[in-house]
Amino acid sequence: TLNYRISYPDANPSDSYPVVIFLHGAGERGSDNRAQLKWGVQNFVTDKALALYEPIVIAPQCPSSKSWANYERDEQNGQITGLADTPSRPLEMTMEVLEQVLANSNADPDRVYITGLSMGGYGTWDALARWPETFAAGAPVCGGGDPGSVKNMADIPIWAFHGAEDAVVPPERSREMIDALHQIGARPGYTEYPEVGHFSWVHAYSDPLFMNWLFDQEKE
């Protein structure tokens, strides 16, 4: 079972709307269908954001003990060694929700974005690698992934964020993904906040430049 919330703009039948998938962090897992609204996602449904961008926002809740991402890891040190053959079930079900939204609303399939923080940042990198044809842009916040998978997302506009003093997810996890993208000729954006710990999403999601950038992206 996957609980989720969806926010729709005031629909005009002649309009089409961008879609934001928001993946929460590990602390918001559960089954109450409320905890996933604690951090970050509210920035996409403020009066100002709704007026400027008119997004459809999908906020799923990952069940307890599950994860958004599914990576192969070294048994000795836990380091990511590759992308697992199949996605995690919660992320797979999130994509099923997206399919239903695209089929049954005025959602614009050329303006689908994914973002997430911490565990959700890992899930964002995972989703960009598995479904690159789906997303017009991605914004992983204080996450990490498999550098070997970046070839799948080389053509997707990406802006990643991290705190330089993050003691939960080291900033090296974002840096290595950005470096891997640079090595194959991609031009991702990366913001690392000095003197900021794990709560880098507070800065990222409140940045109007980021919001403008995200909603300007559209698949060619």
CA 118 from centre of chain: 10
Q: Where are the beta strands (DSSP E) in 133-198?
A: 137-141, 159-163, 189-193
Per-residue pLDDT tens digits of the chain, which is 220 residues long:
999 999 999 877 778 999 999 999 999 999 999 999 999 999 999 999 999 999 999 999 999 999 999 999 988 888 898 999 999 999 999 999 999 999 999 999 999 999 999 999 999 999 999 999 999 999 999 999 999 999 999 999 999 999 999 999 999 999 999 999 999 999 999 999 999 999 999 999 999 999 999 999 999 8
Please tell me the distance from the alpha carbon of residue 159 to that of residue 187, in angstroms, as a whole number.
Answer: 9
Please tell me the distance from the alpha carbon of residue 172 to that of residue 129, in angstroms, as a whole number.
Answer: 19
pTM above 0.75, yes or no: yes
